[in-house]
Amino acid sequence: MCTWQLLGYIRRGPRPYSRTIQQLQQANNSLYTGYHQHQPQQLRLQRTRTMAQKASPNKLKILCLHGFLQSGEVFRTRIGSTRKALKSKAEFFFIDGPVEVTDEEAESVGITSRDGGRAWWKVISPTTTQDQGDDFQPAYDTIQAAVKETKPDILLGFSMGASAIGLFLSRASQWEPELLEGISGCILFSGFLPKESVWAEQVKLKLPAITSLHLYGKADSIVDMSRSKAVMEAYREHGGKVEVFEHDGGHLVPSASGALRDSLRAFLSDLQS
């Protein structure tokens, strides 16, 4: 098992964002400066096996980000068919989101089953972000530490994890683009742009030109596929190759068989060529 458990706490930086889109660029510049002036406390990570020792040099490395109220271990189990379908081409690594969601917080958004009970930021509901200052900073630091250790080729995320990937790529491309040099693609299941937030505008403003595969369900009642298409267009507008897979299911990672299995394998093969 390669799931990391976050043990420490991360100091939050200053509130960097303007509340108006017109001042977004100024806010981004302020954020860039604030990041370097207010370095967070170093993360303390617990792992059962050294990732660098586990990874095979002949396989692509995929760093996976779970959805809202899941955990790395829960997500590892949920995408078992994906891991099996790609086992000859890739190795998977999983991390936990930095925010632990309480029972009360889960119930406040109408969810009673907590699974792993973690998130990438504090939310009013799992698919929105509203006036939260810089609450993504702990998530950025968690993903940053994992990227530095695993040196992944691909980032894979589901729902909130997919959204976190977009925010991470946007910030890293401004703050420390060298961190992204080895990342050639991302796989986003039920991805979305954060709603009613300057965060969404930051993703639209800056993304690296990497290959992306966007997968979403026609029957998804939590993240409407129009929102997944919006984030897909953001990646396209920044010059990256975009691939799409629509399925008939809802808000989930479908079983990797048939056409989906073939699409995932072809995506990885293209990145290896």
**Tokens of residue 182, six digits:** 């080895």
Residue carrying structure tokens 């530490």:
145
Question: How far, in Å, CA of 187 to CA of 264, rounded?
Answer: 9
Active site residue 131: no
Q: Is 94 helix (H, G, I), strand (E, B) or coil?
A: strand
Question: How far, in Å, CA of 227 to CA of 40, rounded?
Answer: 32
Active site residue 220: yes
Active site residue 159: yes
Q: Give yes or no for a contact between 153 and 125, defined as CB atoms under 8 angstroms apart.
A: no
Which among 141, 153, 159, 170 is annotated as catalytic?
A: 159
Question: How far, in Å, CA of 119 to CA of 27, rounded?
Answer: 25
Rg (CA), the chain: 17
SS3 content of the chain, % helix, strand, coil (to 5): 40, 15, 40
Which among 220, 228, 238, 247 is annotated as catalytic?
A: 220
Closest CA to 63 of 176, 192, 164, 191: 164
Q: Give the catalytic positions in this structure.
A: 159, 220, 251
